[in-house]
Amino acid sequence: MTEVLLDTSLLVAWLDEKDALHKTALPLVHALTDRKVGSIYFDCVVGEAVSVLGRRLQERKQAKQFIALVDRLQERVPQERVTWVSQQTRAYYSAILDLAKKHDGRLNFNDLLIALAAKDAALQYIVSFDSDFDLIPWLTRLKSASDVRKLDS
């Protein structure tokens, strides 16, 4: 079975019906399910998604909806489906900073942690709306349902 890593941008768009990319995220997630593609959720992605959702809801003055979105997150990504990589940050630290310098800071620290952990886990696909991942040579970014349908499962 093909496995793909889900990025924060996809996770947030999938959870938040008011996200600009929500209508793009839904068919993408359905394509993953239909093709029986395994979805990998790194803890740093889930943590970043919680932070992004909280900030966006604060900005929209809808903080009371935060609990419902976190409940939705827990329903869709239960703890047992989370892959824990943050404890490896210490081991990746120098490589993260080297990659950050190589790309002139275009990729943030968390994205580089995700990329290096994906490499170590032999994951070659990331589902993301973040085009910065296109800079990572060992990852192929899937950004649409048609991209997912092209995968061998």
Domain membership flag for residue 149? no
Domain membership flag for residue 24? yes
Domain that holds residue 128: 3-144
Task: Identify the pLDDT of residue 75.
Answer: 96
Domain membership flag for residue 15? yes
User: Nearest-CA neighbor of 44 among 134, 114, 127?
Assistant: 114
Task: Identify the pLDDT of residue 147.
Answer: 96
Distance CA 7, CA 52 (A): 12
Task: Identify the pLDDT of residue 134.
Answer: 97
Q: What is the 3-state secondary structure (H, E, C) of 56-116?
A: HHHHCCCHHHHHHHHHHHHHHCCHHHEECCHHHHHHHHHHHHHHHHHCCCCCCHHHHHHHH
Task: Identify the pLDDT of residue 87.
Answer: 87
- The answer to whether the beta carbons of residues 144 and 25 sit under 8 Å apart is no
What's the pLDDT band for 81 if we cut at 50, 70, 90?
Answer: very high
Supply the CATH number for residue 52's domain.
3.40.50.1010
What's the pLDDT band for 1 if we cut at 50, 70, 90?
Answer: confident
Domain membership flag for residue 153? no
Q: Tell me which residue has tokens 């649409």.
A: 144
Domain membership flag for residue 38? yes
Domain total of the chain? 1
Residues 6+ positions from 103 with CB-CB distance below 8 Å: 135
Distance CA 18, CA 102 (A): 35
DSSP-derived letter for residue 4 is E
Domain membership flag for residue 12? yes
Q: What percent of the chain has pLDDT over 70?
A: 99
pLDDT of residue 10 exceeding 70: yes
Average pLDDT, rounded, for the chain: 94
DSSP-derived letter for residue 151 is S
Kindly state the average pLDDT of the residues 71-95: 94
Domain membership flag for residue 151? no
Domain membership flag for residue 119? yes
What's the pLDDT band for 137 if we cut at 50, 70, 90?
Answer: very high
pLDDT of residue 18 exceeding 90: yes
Task: Identify the pLDDT of residue 152.
Answer: 73
Residue-wise pLDDT tens digits, 32-68: 999 999 999 999 999 999 999 999 999 999 989 999 9
Residues 6+ positions from 138 with CB-CB distance below 8 Å: 115, 118, 119, 124
